[in-house]
Amino acid sequence: MTTCSSKLIRPKAQSFPIFQVICLVVRFSAFLVVGLQTLPMSLVAQERINNPEIYSIPADMSGVHFYLITVDVGDAVWDNFGHTALRVFDENSNTDVVFNWGNFDIGSGAVEFSWDFFKGIMNYQLATSSPSQEFSMYRFQERTVWQDRINLTNPQKVRLYRRLMWNLEPENIVYPYQYFYDNCTTKVRDYLDEALSGRISQQFTGMTEISFRHQVQAHYQSVSLIALSLDVLMNSNIDRAMSEWEEMFLPLRLRDRLQYVRSDVAENSEQLMLLSDPQVIMEFAPPTKETDPYRIASIVLISPVLLLILMLKRVRKSFYATRSQIGFKAAGINFRILGLLGLLTAFFSGIYGILMLGSWFFSDHSDTHHNINLLLFWPTDILGVLVGLRWLFLSKPWPMTNNSAPFINYYLLAHVIAMIVYAAIAFLELVTQSIGNIALYVLPGFLLFTLLIWIVGFERAKLRNNLF
């Protein structure tokens, strides 16, 4: 999950599917925040920026013009929140440069980059390009781009220009990216606020009624699987309401709110707004919204489970079987259906559990720690893939020995109890984390599936050493 139009320095992201997988399950983690307050600049940095001997400033700042570049959401995983950049045109030197804070480098390799991403090490960097280069990229991505003139006084332009020159120094180009409070959009927000002596932060001090989770879900409506995965992976940290200032981590919200800020610049004796002369550089249709992921999950889980329940029958008890007397009609077909569903549930439950538990110990992504969804999705469920493969290819129950039977029975019992506890927590609203959709759409099918495999998915083995 990223709010930037993240541009890889080298090579292109499309060459590394593993990176897109990490973006899918960790991004979000989305949503993912260390803190939601802007860190103040050090006094040393401020003194350096204000030192007139360090940075060369154009003699005529009235000929330097700043523009806010806002880019709509895209189809890529990292483009679903949009992007913000600054354009600086100096008519004195005829230079035209776009400052873009949404770049990252995976030159060290996709695997190492993905592991760092999982651990919470996300080093983004500032890059500059010409407007033609920047706009051609968005045209290729088919994303709408808006441009607004930023009306600043000459002293305000100097402060902003010095900040950009400071940011271009090699030691300042790279920064630790944080989704909600330090990204390509908040960089522009903070720099403009600094140039205006804090006027933006002073004007937008209220609270919204929208949570970070709501914005994450809303912006991933075009990618259902990501929306569902992020909702599972994120904890209660992102369920609080955002302030107006915090909400401006979103490019479109920043542009919208800046339109209500008054400038100190007057034209024809009339005070201007901070943004003026809006232009649509290019326009494309936004990504198409997909079906609600929870409806899909509910149908995928409930429908085959109900079908399999209708296909249950009593079977003759053999001399070696002491546990189950329930089986399937047309066992060949129905065990394959059970196998496919088993592979699906085991894979997603196991992967979700591994990511949530693993990030708790190894990642700085605090929004995936202490997640109540670990009660429902267990890392050990990934072992169920082996069981599902037997159901799929051999159309037979998994054989249990005297040693494995107690473990399997207790494991399934513990899973059922955990699901019941999860349902009670959701119904009674005992946690601040938003789990209503998961409890309503995912839990019923998951619970019925667990009870079903407990009844028909396992049987006593004929021989103690018989695994298949």
Domain spans of the chain? 7-282, 293-460
Task: Count, in order, helices (H) and strands (E) of the chain.
Answer: 18, 16
From the number of C-beta atoms within 10 Å of its C-beta (0-12, 13-18, 19+), residue 391 rates as: buried
* Buried-exposed string 301-324: b where 16+ CB fall within 10 A, e elsewhere: bbebbeebeebeeebeeeeeeeeb
Between 9 and 87, residue with greater pLDDT:
87
Pairing outcome for strands 95-104 and 123-129: antiparallel
Q: What pLDDT score does 199 carry?
A: 96
Positive or negative, the CA dihedral 275, 276, 281, 285 is positive
pLDDT tens column, 313-347: 987 665 544 444 788 999 999 999 999 999 999 99
The predicted model scores a pTM of 0.82
Angle, CA 393 vertex, CA 390 and CA 399 arms, to 5°: 25
Mean pLDDT of 183-201: 96
Contacts 24+ apart (CB under 8 A), 336-340: 336/391, 336/392, 336/395, 337/304, 337/307, 337/308, 338/308, 338/388, 338/391, 338/452, 338/453, 338/456, 338/457, 339/388, 339/389, 339/390, 339/391, 339/392, 339/393, 339/395, 340/304, 340/388, 340/392
pLDDT band for position 191 (50/70/90)? very high
Mean pLDDT of 105-122: 70
Range with lowest mean pLDDT among 18-22, 80-84, 203-207, 210-214: 18-22
Percent of the chain clearing pLDDT 90 (strictly above): 66
399 touches 462 (CB < 8 A): yes
pLDDT tens column, 135-179: 999 999 999 999 999 999 999 999 999 999 999 999 999 998 888
For residue 112, what are the contacts with CB-CB under 8 A and spacing of at least 6? none
pLDDT tens column, 266-319: 988 899 999 999 999 999 998 888 888 999 999 999 999 999 999 999 876 655
Contacts 24+ apart (CB under 8 A), 40-43: 41/194
| CA 131/CA 290 separation, integer angstroms | 33
Between 5 and 354, residue with greater pLDDT:
354
pLDDT band for position 51 (50/70/90)? low
Mean pLDDT of 404-420: 96
| CA 283/CA 146 separation, integer angstroms | 9
pLDDT band for position 389 (50/70/90)? very high
Between 360 and 151, residue with greater pLDDT:
151
451 touches 416 (CB < 8 A): yes
- Ranked by mean pLDDT, the top range of 24-38, 68-82, 319-333 is 68-82
8 touches 105 (CB < 8 A): yes
Element (H, E) at 294: helix 293-310
| CA 21/CA 355 separation, integer angstroms | 12
Mean pLDDT of 381-396: 96
pLDDT band for position 407 (50/70/90)? very high
- Identity of residue 428: L
List phi, psi (to 5°) of 312.
-70, 150
Name the average pLDDT for the chain: 86
Q: What pLDDT score does 36 carry?
A: 33
Q: What pLDDT score does 107 carry?
A: 66
Beta bridge partners of 400: 460
Q: What pLDDT score does 39 carry?
A: 37
Q: What pLDDT score does 301 carry?
A: 94
pLDDT band for position 113 (50/70/90)? low
| CA 246/CA 420 separation, integer angstroms | 37
Q: What pLDDT score does 16 carry?
A: 36
159 touches 109 (CB < 8 A): no
Give the number of other Cβ atoms within 10 Å of residue 455's Cβ: 17
Residue 12: is its pLDDT beyond 80?
no
Residue 468: is its pLDDT beyond 50?
no
How far from each other are the two terminal CA atoms of the chain, in whole angstroms? 42
